[in-house]
Amino acid sequence: METRTPYPALAEALQALQAKDNLRVLMTIEKREGPFVWSNGRRFLNLSSNDYLGLAADPALQEAFHARHRGQNPAFAPGLSASSSRLLSGSHAAHARLETLLAACYQREAALVFTSGYHANLGLITALVGPRDAVFADRLAHASLLDGILLSGAKLHRYRHLDCDHLEMLLVKHRPGASKALIVTESIFSMDGDAADLPRLAALKKKYGCWLYLDEAHAVGVVGEKGLGLAEKTRTLGEIDFLIGTFGKALAGLGAFLIADRVVVDYVLNHARPFIFTTALPPLLADWQAFLWERLHTWGPRRERLLSLSARLRQSLHALGLPATGQAHIIPVVLGENAPTLHVAQEMQTAGYWLMAIRPPTVMQGTARLRLSLTADMRWEDLSGLPQRVSAALASCRPSALKGAGA
């Protein structure tokens, strides 16, 4: 007897995704071992992680952190749960220590820690702008930024990716009719691995009386002499009104932070709903982030190694005629359609690479890709065979390529 689902519309929607080679499934990782992961008893080189500095699986760092806590009075040890919103009983000394450290490193008045980057972007943008305002966003800005803008009710104007001339055209046309105006961009773009022109954006912000909102999620820890991000590298830190960084990528943890003037932070903690109505980051995790942040300036050699590996791999892909782009530690290989991208990803998984197919809506239609995300603890010996395998997999691609996992 045929089993009938009470949710036929949902089942049909899933079938439609599968027909377009766009269905996602979860793949479980059992353990980590440096730059490798284990799944179903097999070891894979992990090319899908955002652990750019290789800190998350560094046993020496973890032992040093735990050793520090073993010497503390248990009554003052940070807990595994904040148990509440920070505006109730969830704001702990560990949060305050972390925020003080962050503000000092950026030489700004204040910092505010959020539970995730998505919470930060959603909460900040909806708190800062509304229906009388305008937001000018890079067309490839992250989903969390776009969702915050749409939820705010502000008028959204999307400029062509990295095209500051197009942005200025939109500012000339639409800035006069808006009360407040916000320019929104990522620094290093998460799926394209390219970088915003921050000096030009800062100049446009001044010229047209806007605020500049910068998401440094994929640059914090990796870019800049001290690892503070692209704004540090381009000497534009003082021009950024709202700088967002995350702990869940190069900083091997969870959560995000805002760097801004004190009046902004005070306003945001009174108006950002995802901050007000969310249980705070676990104090133990806030302490871990402070522990890592104190050492951030010492990891210049890791940053140099990561960028050197990335440049070498990109050159090797180019030598085989593969469409590798970007200019950072994220190397997209744009293959176009979903089916060949899924096929190549599956072939790479068979060869021992943890590599997923990135498809719409994560990226624009017709730009499905492999996203090669490198980490500083990788060796060239583990990467050197990858370009030839990608080339061979692409050459063997068939329309009947099997469907697999991906973003």
Burial of 285 (0-12, 13-18, 19+ CB in 10 A): buried
- What the block records as the tokens of 208 is 């047209």
Of 379, 359, 210, residue with least CA distance to 306: 379
Q: Are residues 193 and 325 in the same domain?
A: no
Number of folded domains that form the chain:
2
Cα-flanking dihedrals φ and ψ of residue 194, to 5°?
A: -105, 175
**Helices in 220-261 by DSSP H: which ranges?**
230-233
Q: Which of 1-5, 7-11, 153-157, 294-298 has the lowest mean pLDDT?
A: 1-5
Which entry of 157, 218, 233, 343 is annotated as an active-site residue?
218
Distance CA 156, CA 359 (A): 24
Which entry of 138, 186, 192, 216 is annotated as an active-site residue?
186
Tell me, yes or no, whether 41 lies in a domain: yes
Q: Are residues 184 and 194 in the same domain?
A: yes
Instruction: Provide the pLDDT confidence category of residue 407 given band limits of 50, 70 and 90.
Output: low
40 is catalytic: no
Which entry of 249, 329, 343, 403 is annotated as an active-site residue?
249
Q: Are residues 271 and 309 in the same domain?
A: no
Which entry of 152, 190, 338, 373 is annotated as an active-site residue?
190
Tell me, yes or no, whether 32 lies in a domain: yes
Distance CA 352, CA 111 (A): 41
Angle, helix 59-70 to helix 283-293, in steps of 10 degrees? 120
Q: Are residues 311 and 177 in the same domain?
A: no
186 is catalytic: yes
Of 187, 304, 161, 297, residue with least CA distance to 242: 187
337 is catalytic: no
56-89, pLDDT tens digit by residue?
A: 989 999 999 988 877 666 655 678 899 999 999 9
297 is catalytic: no
Residues 6+ apart with CB under 8 A from 124: 148, 213, 242, 244, 258, 268, 272
Q: Residue 403 above 60 pLDDT?
A: no
Tell me, yes or no, whether 59 lies in a domain: no
236-251, pLDDT tens digit by residue?
A: 999 999 999 999 999 9
Which amino acid belongs to residue 189? F
Which entry of 215, 216, 232, 347 is annotated as an active-site residue?
215
CA distances to 12, 58, 63, 281, 288 from 70, rounded to whole Å, are 54, 19, 10, 21, 14
Tell me, yes or no, whether 365 lies in a domain: yes
Q: Are residues 145 and 256 in the same domain?
A: yes
- Tally Cβ neighbours within 10 Å of residue 73: 6
Q: Are residues 233 and 146 in the same domain?
A: yes
142 is catalytic: yes
Which entry of 119, 142, 205, 403 is annotated as an active-site residue?
142
Q: Are residues 273 and 134 in the same domain?
A: yes
Residue 77's pLDDT is 67
Q: Which of 26-35, 91-100, 276-285 has the lowest mean pLDDT?
A: 26-35
Mean of all residue pLDDT scores within the chain:
93
Query: What is the DSSP pairing of strand 211-215 with strand 242-246?
Result: parallel
Range of the domain at 374: 23-53+299-395
Tell me, yes or no, whether 17 lies in a domain: no
Query: What is the DSSP pairing of strand 42-46 with strand 36-39?
Result: antiparallel
Q: Which of 9-23, 104-118, 295-309 has the lowest mean pLDDT?
A: 9-23
Residue 397's pLDDT is 78
218 is catalytic: yes
Which amino acid belongs to residue 312? R
371-399, pLDDT tens digit by residue?
A: 999 999 999 999 999 999 999 999 987 54
Side-chain-facing half-sphere of 228: CA atoms under 13 Å? 22
Q: Are residues 290 and 316 in the same domain?
A: no
Cα 279 off chain centre by = 22
- What the block records as the tokens of 219 is 């640059």
Query: What is the DSSP pairing of strand 353-354 with strand 181-186?
Result: unpaired
Residue 22's pLDDT is 85
Residue 50's pLDDT is 95
121 is catalytic: no
Q: Residue 115 above 90 pLDDT?
A: yes
Distance CA 67, CA 174 (A): 56
366: alpha, beta or left, given left = phi > 0 and alpha = psi -120 to 50?
left
Mean pLDDT of 191-202: 97
Share of the chain above pLDDT 70, in %: 95
Of 210, 230, 235, residue with least CA distance to 220: 230
Q: Are residues 117 and 195 in the same domain?
A: yes
Of 121, 93, 148, residue with least CA distance to 284: 93
Tell me, yes or no, whether 58 lies in a domain: no
Q: What is the helix (H) or strand (E) element at residue 324, kind and residue range?
A: none
Tell me, yes or no, whether 391 lies in a domain: yes
Which entry of 49, 50, 121, 187 is annotated as an active-site residue?
50
Residue 80's pLDDT is 87
